[in-house]
Structure 1
Amino acid sequence: MQSYILLKSFIMLSALGAAFTIFYQKVKRLYRLMTAVDGKTEFKLDHVKERIMVIIKDVLGQSNVRRKALPGLSHMLIFFGFLAVQPHSLELMIKGVIPAFDVAHPAPGVYGAYLYIADILASLVLVGFACAIYRRTLVRPKYLTMGVDANLIILFTCVIIVTFLFINAFQTLMPSTFDYSAVFPVSGALAAFLNLGRLTPNQVLAGYEVSYWIHMATILGFLVYIPGSKHLHLLAAAPNVFLKPLQREKAMVKTDIEDENAESFGLGKVSDLNWKNVLNLYACTECGRCEEQCPAANTGKPLSPKQVIHDVKIDLFQHADPLLSGYKESIQPIMREGSPITDDVIWSCTSCRACEDICPVNIEQLDFILEVRKHQVLMEANFPPEMQETFTNLENQANPWGFSADTRADWARGMDIPLMSDRPEAEVLWYVGCAGSFDDRAKKISRALARVMQRAGVDFAILGPEESCNGDLARRSGNEYLAQILIQQNAEVFNQYGPKKIVTGCPHCFNIIKNEFPQFGAVYPVVHHTEFLFDLHKQGRLVPNGKSVGDFTFHDSCYLGRWNGIYTAPRNLLTSMNGGGRLVELERHGDKGFCCGAGGGRMFMEEAIGKRINTDRAEEVAASGVPTVAAACPFCATMLADGLMETKAEVAVKDIAEIIDEATASAADQGERA
């Protein structure tokens, strides 16, 4: 027996040394790969207390995972059970090398309480896996990765848990100074169910040793396997969550177009990634929630955010040797012939941010997709052909339709709306935007918003011909050079007047002025008209006249909701001003809202693959049975109206400004408009 103990100690020590050496070398290679890429991102460890709270909420609390009930419960049971097992497994490892090691001696009460909880949680892991197997075999959601790798991980973990319970069960029958039978409720029940008490002491010891070695071999094999598997996220997810941007608002990456030393712009090769991009790749769990929410994937487009991340990660690993060796000239483009990342994949994205919002480990998928677009436009001149005219119009007339820039304020004729050049001291600068200035449907929204602000006594002015396109369309369509010209033009005008507050009627204008104009030296308070009007209502400056559009539903704009977290203000405004009309929520609303299909430049691109996104959304609106759908974005209003026309549904599409205009108009106002 003594010789076996010595042999066991030697084998265990050798196995631990080999496993941890291999694990260390693999992790070291992953770290070197993460720092070998060229993309520049500074490492800033700020707001440490807030980041610790994020770890507690998102990792330990599983807040993002729990947003889906069954998968969330399943993952929580597996997560906490697997964590609970590890300290006892570590103790068993140490005892395998040092038999005299005794954790129970200094604090038997604490030790016993831990073992009791760990035994229960370990058994719940099997419940979690039962749920997971149910989803994989019966539900089989198409977005869920079901490869050999995922199934092997399930097998590994199940073996670890089952052998853990058997080790505990055999320990309850072995002589010990600690009463294990009192702290293993599940394992004790397992021993009783299998009638292990009838075994001889030698048979009990043999059962324990067999379970022990299977348990240890599986744990060490799992340890070695993790860094090269889809479960790499076990190592990378927590750091990625810890280092995520803490603010909800998100700005696109600003490229230094004037950098004379830059050989390339955007993301053309994996060598262009930065360390945070690579950490994103490592953290992906391939859970598929991003694909489940993606409007492109939901309507038959070839885009899957999960698959993009996976494909870039595989490309990175395939080019690991030249990256680590410094032979970067041999690295091939991401979008090369035969690559799964094609033009149709990259240009299907509406930049709605559903993928980033739902991701449980805070991967920023748009940083990959939009940066690839940027490279394709700036370096390859590769973009959808219909965008050529759009880019030309933006360059020549500073609006995507190509209308003369001098006519930008023509929509306001006869409304006595001042220009900032005539009234630079105005309290509010209303940035009207291209749609509100030139699109026939959106001009009606602009006039409605103007009447509401005049009715409330708001001191406002517009820029008129001094206003240019905000740059959102060009930037999200990959034309960073043109976008920066447009943004800089507006920034210079803003800085000339120094407005106290900027109001926008378009979420795209709101988002880029608020979150991206500061990159160009224009930092001003910006508010979307939904919040602005709600604030006026709370001040008593907008009094409802009792008129109602009846029951209604509300379509969440992606750039108002997911990009900037504004969900309640438009709903509160509508319900309090709409004369008792009832809000009927769509099935997909709030942070689960479905895109209209216009974002990311898609408003000006053809949609020839799969079902039209706006048609899908319009069918959902029509199914709600309400007579009116409220929007808070001119693009959304246009896309919804087109979709509803296609579905032949009799649902009116009205911007919030139009509804508030009707709800606050006096009889004289209504007579004038009639």
Structure 2
Amino acid sequence: MILKSLVMSIALIAAFGYFFKKVKRLHSVMMSVDGSSNLAPDRLGERIKVLFIDVLGQSNVRRKPAAGLAHTLIFFGFLAIQPHSLELMIKGVIPFFEAGNFLPGLYAVYLYAADISGFFVLIGFAYALYRRLVIRPSYLTLGRDANLIILFTSVIVLSFHFINAFQMAMPAQTGHFNYISVFPVSGVFARVFGIDTLSSTNLMIGYEIFYYIHIGTILGFLIYIPGSKHLHLLAAAPNVFFKRLDIEKAIMKTDIEDESKETFGLGKISDFSRRNVLNLYACTECGRCEELCPASGTGKPLSPKKIIHDFKQDLLDQSGMLLDNHKNEILPLMREESKLTDDVLWACTTCRSCENVCPVSNEHLDFIFEMRKHQVLMEAKFPPEMQETFNNMENQANPWGFASDTRADWCKGMDVPLMAEKLQTDVLWFVGCAGSFDDRGKKISQATARILKKAGVDFAILGPEENCNGDMARRAGNEYLAQMMIRQNVETFAQYKFKTILTGCPHCYNVIKNEYPDFGAAYDVVHTADYFDRLIKEGRLTVNALNSGIMTFHDSCYLGRWNNIYDAPRRLLKKSVSGQMVEMDRSGSKGFCCGAGGARMFMEETLGKRMNNERAIQVVESGAQTVVSACPFCAVMLHDGIMETGKEIRVKDIAEIMDEATN
């Protein structure tokens, strides 16, 4: 007894001491980075609710029904057996400790439930192995780390059941809890393996063997966690707690006029923020982000999962210099031997599929935006075709380089008023670059103008006073150019009086609504899909349903995943068409990007398959005769993709459908 107590005391002190030392180091690493800290626990009540829903409720994990159910069984089952394991540790040090003597009734109920829950863990792991060995999804990491974790946990649960089986078979001692009827699953183990037929001596030997296997594996698991991908067991809950509560988000504003700053963006591990580091610790490497990433799905070298993994590995590899404050010696994230290449960084369309599906609420795009910002501002490195685009935006305030004084030419003869003439209006319509200069976009703008006139809306446009909204420059990393255009627009807005800003471009909508407030310009911003829906509800537009055959809707990333607008466009289509509405397999929050976002509209797509062609194939597979979008960029990309398929499928913007269906 004394020897066992001594051995267990030493083992527990050593294992927990090592564990806390490793965790303390990880915490010190997180606290040593220089990036702006954004771990402010505001809206505390909502965050606690999120913990219950996302962590205890496993809501994000259960988006995949089978895998989610298996993970839920493992999660709750493993939690359920831990109090009993803790009791066994205490008994190893203090042999006379007996938890069942305190509240025997409650203790019996707990053991009964824990015994069943432990078996559910084995069921969950059986499916996990089946998925890894038989289904073998390409995005799932099949490495030594994951296999070791499965082995660790399976041994812990199996030894838990064998300990229970031996406890059941042992003669009950006076003053000790009677385990004879509280282990329904372990009782089966006892009968199947003949444990209930063993002698008292053999029962004690068997119990001690499985006791040391159980405790030894738990302590080994404890030591292993801080250096493995299962660090998420510690980091996932705080990562979810500190997550962004609103779907809408803005790129972090950089003070480019701060003369004390030696660098901008994310160039090396010391530039991470604490939130970034917590993201890296929390990643489970489940691969769901990679599964839905349009770049990864079309053969590009980008994998959101691998980016997070590579950043984490670089952070841990160079953490010594970070902790010793030798930050000048830290190597850049993008270097010759780095897995993060230009092709990886610039393949991203910023569609947010990765963030939307992440079960631990990681924000992959924060890394990409800040990396691009550093490459453009500090290294002057970006795709060569973006040089002309940057020049065009700087000189003519639009990415195509058309003369800025022709911005209102699309509406010649339509009697569309300018703000410079009206000075005050109800609706300031921010037309955007695509709606002003692109041939396809101009048709959408003309349809929108006709709808506004039909509804008697008091509106005006800026015309030549309008600049590019800054979205494309920001997402391409040119923060200096983006802020210049944003400030010019804000100054122009301030000259006039209006109630609402209307835009038909999701990129304009997103940046003005969610990012302009950082520049002191918060407005009521509405997308045309929502605004047309409002006009119909108010009785200002009368809809005559069109017979358009089979129709499907393509969700714009910046309307859907960035701003949670999914229903309004579909309501409009149901009111304005009499044909059948069908959904593509990738629709709603899982919609497939057209390939134009993140400034990709103006970059060459030379690797893998073209995203718009892949989306066009999905349109064809839906059986639709018409595909509708609510974004001028999507309309262009879908049209080009449909042309490649050789199919006769109409591509319409929702404004064009509404124009045809209203009077």
TM-score (norm 2): 0.99
> CA separation in 2, counterparts of 1:360 and 1:183?
35
Selected match of 2:655 from 631, 645, 657: 657
Aligned counterpart, 2:267:
268
Contact 1:289–1:358 (CA under 8 A) maintained in structure 2: yes
Alpha-carbon distance, 1:419 to partner: 1.0
SS state of the match for residue 650, structure 1? Answer: coil
> CA separation in 2, counterparts of 1:95 and 1:444?
78
- Aligned residue identity for 1:179: N
Contact 1:630–1:653 (CA under 8 A) maintained in structure 2: yes
Q: Does 1:138 align with 2:134?
A: yes
> CA separation in 2, counterparts of 1:565 and 1:42?
23
> CA separation in 1, counterparts of 2:261 and 2:237?
33
> CA separation in 1, counterparts of 2:562 and 2:53?
21
- Aligned residue identity for 2:156: I
SS state of the match for residue 182, structure 1? Answer: coil
Selected match of 1:127 from 123, 130, 136: 123
Contact 1:549–1:659 (CA under 8 A) maintained in structure 2: no
- Aligned residue identity for 1:52: I
> CA separation in 2, counterparts of 1:535 and 1:38?
46
Aligned counterpart, 1:627:
625
Aligned counterpart, 1:316:
315
SS state of the match for residue 502, structure 2? Answer: strand
Alpha-carbon distance, 1:498 to partner: 4.2
> CA separation in 2, counterparts of 1:66 and 1:43?
26
Aligned counterpart, 2:336:
337
Contact 1:75–1:128 (CA under 8 A) maintained in structure 2: yes
Post-superposition CA distance 1:194-222 (Å, at most 9, x none): 22111001111111111100000000110
Aligned counterpart, 1:460:
459
Selected match of 2:65 from 69, 74, 83: 69
- Aligned residue identity for 2:92: G
Alpha-carbon distance, 1:417 to partner: 1.1
> CA separation in 2, counterparts of 1:664 and 1:46?
45
Contact 2:38–2:274 (CA under 8 A) maintained in structure 1: no
Q: Does 1:51 align with 2:47?
A: yes
SS state of the match for residue 495, structure 2? Answer: helix
Note the 1:583-594 alignment, pairs <5 A. 583-594=581-592
- Aligned residue identity for 1:318: D
Contact 2:545–2:575 (CA under 8 A) maintained in structure 1: no
Aligned counterpart, 1:672:
none
Contact 1:66–1:73 (CA under 8 A) maintained in structure 2: yes
- Aligned residue identity for 1:63: S
> CA separation in 1, counterparts of 2:586 and 2:179?
51
> CA separation in 1, counterparts of 2:64 and 2:149?
22
Contact 2:375–2:477 (CA under 8 A) maintained in structure 1: yes
Aligned counterpart, 1:611:
609
* Change beyond 3 A, Cα 1:281–1:542: same
SS state of the match for residue 218, structure 1? Answer: helix
Selected match of 1:108 from 88, 104, 111: 104
> CA separation in 2, counterparts of 1:244 and 1:497?
37
Contact 1:387–1:605 (CA under 8 A) maintained in structure 2: yes
> CA separation in 1, counterparts of 2:402 and 2:512?
22
> CA separation in 2, counterparts of 1:104 and 1:241?
36
Q: After TM superposition, what 4+ stretches of structure 1 lie above 6 angstroms from structure 2?
A: none
> CA separation in 2, counterparts of 1:38 and 1:44?
16
Contact 2:550–2:623 (CA under 8 A) maintained in structure 1: no
Post-superposition CA distance 1:316-368 (Å, at most 9, x none): 11111110001111111111002100000000000000000000000100011
> What's the C-alpha RMSD, in Å, of the aligned pairs?
0.9
Aligned counterpart, 2:10:
14
Contact 1:499–1:524 (CA under 8 A) maintained in structure 2: no
> CA separation in 2, counterparts of 1:480 and 1:360?
30
SS state of the match for residue 433, structure 2? Answer: helix
SS state of the match for residue 181, structure 1? Answer: coil
- Aligned residue identity for 1:359: C
SS state of the match for residue 26, structure 1? Answer: helix
Contact 1:302–1:345 (CA under 8 A) maintained in structure 2: yes
SS state of the match for residue 378, structure 2? Answer: helix
Aligned counterpart, 2:555:
556
Aligned counterpart, 1:668:
none
Aligned counterpart, 1:33:
29
Contact 1:553–1:629 (CA under 8 A) maintained in structure 2: yes
Aligned counterpart, 1:425:
424
Contact 1:51–1:242 (CA under 8 A) maintained in structure 2: yes
For structure 2, list consecutive stretches of 5 or more residues without a partner in the other structure: none
Post-superposition CA distance 1:589-613 (Å, at most 9, x none): 0011000000000000000000000
- Aligned residue identity for 2:298: T
Alpha-carbon distance, 1:42 to partner: 4.3
> CA separation in 1, counterparts of 2:38 and 2:133?
44
Post-superposition CA distance 1:291-337 (Å, at most 9, x none): 00000000000000000011111111111111000111111111100
> CA separation in 1, counterparts of 2:500 and 2:97?
68
Alpha-carbon distance, 1:175 to partner: 2.8
Alpha-carbon distance, 1:485 to partner: 0.4
Alpha-carbon distance, 1:415 to partner: 1.1
Selected match of 1:84 from 80, 83, 89: 80
Contact 2:98–2:177 (CA under 8 A) maintained in structure 1: no
Aligned counterpart, 2:385:
386
> CA separation in 2, counterparts of 1:468 and 1:526?
17
Post-superposition CA distance 1:419-456 (Å, at most 9, x none): 11222221111110000000010000000011111111
For structure 1, list consecutive stretches of 5 or more residues without a partner in the other structure: 666-674
Selected match of 2:636 from 635, 638, 647: 638
SS state of the match for residue 424, structure 2? Answer: coil
> CA separation in 2, counterparts of 1:6 and 1:496?
84
Contact 1:548–1:663 (CA under 8 A) maintained in structure 2: no
- Aligned residue identity for 1:49: G
TM-score (norm 1): 0.97
> CA separation in 1, counterparts of 2:320 and 2:103?
50
Alpha-carbon distance, 1:180 to partner: 1.5
Post-superposition CA distance 1:517-576 (Å, at most 9, x none): 001010001111101101111112221123232220000000000001111111011111
> CA separation in 2, counterparts of 1:180 and 1:532?
67
> CA separation in 2, counterparts of 1:181 and 1:438?
81
SS state of the match for residue 301, structure 2? Answer: coil
SS state of the match for residue 497, structure 1? Answer: coil
> CA separation in 1, counterparts of 2:404 and 2:178?
85
Q: Does 1:94 align with 2:94?
A: no
Size of the aligned set, in residue pairs, is: 660
> CA separation in 2, counterparts of 1:399 and 1:447?
19
- Aligned residue identity for 2:631: C
SS state of the match for residue 92, structure 2? Answer: helix
SS state of the match for residue 377, structure 1? Answer: helix
Note the 1:410-559 alignment, pairs <5 A. 410-559=409-558
